[in-house]
Amino acid sequence: MAVPVCVDVAALPFAEGAFDAVMAMHMLYHVEDIPAGVRELRRVLRDDGTLLVSTNSVTSEREFMDLLMACGLKELPVQDARFSSENGGELLAEAFTDVRFFEERSKFVVPDPGPVVNTVQSMRYSLEAHLASSVTWEDFLFRVADAAQDVVDRHGALVTQSLSGVFVCR
């Protein structure tokens, strides 16, 4: 039975070659030293082991991000650009000889502004520092709710394209 642990990916407390498979799901863009984290993931895998890494495209959910920009963000957070579907293969190839990417394209269709506002609220930790100086967090949420309602009224739903995928590394 698998037991989840929370550790620093750049200093894993496991023996070399300890695992047949390792998963790094939507997390490498949060790692301070991504190449060190990738080397550690390689180290704890057996020679014939497999690493699965999921991530987003830097262009994912562009319609949603455009709405946020129109509501008072002065810039978008760039953490996803540090490890994305566009550059992840190159970063993983430093430690793995066989890196393959499987893209997933989907879309979110949101016919009610409530979930849009809830999602933005859950992203406060990464968005608030990027607000224009004249915009408070509360004002930003109000603007998002108003803009999302406007989109729903005009188009029936907010539709945004999600681009993500999984790297399979051996």
DSSP secondary structure string for all residues of 12-56: --S-TT-EEEEEEES-GGG-SSHHHHHHHHHHHEEEEEEEEEEEE
79 has a pLDDT exceeding 60 = no
Contact predicate 50/170, CB 8 Å: yes
Mean pLDDT of 162-170: 97
Q: Measuring CA to CA, how many Å separate 59 from each of 16, 72, 98, 111, 112?
A: 36, 20, 25, 22, 23
51 has a pLDDT exceeding 70 = yes
- Its pTM stands at 0.81
| C-alpha–C-alpha distance, residues 18 and 22, integer Å | 10
pLDDT band at 10 (very low <50, low <70, confident <90, very high): very high
Mean pLDDT of 27-50: 96
- Number of CB atoms found within 10 A of residue 20's CB: 10
pLDDT at 99: 98
Mean pLDDT of 104-112: 96
Q: Measuring CA to CA, how many Å separate 127 from each of 14, 68, 140, 159?
A: 35, 9, 10, 21
User: Phi and psi dihedrals of 87, rounded to 5?
Assistant: -115, -5
Question: How high does pLDDT run on average in the chain?
Answer: 94
Classify domain 19-169 at the CATH topology level. Answer: Rossmann fold (3.40.50)
- Number of CB atoms found within 10 A of residue 55's CB: 25
Mean pLDDT of 52-70: 94
pLDDT band at 77 (very low <50, low <70, confident <90, very high): confident
Mean pLDDT of 105-121: 96
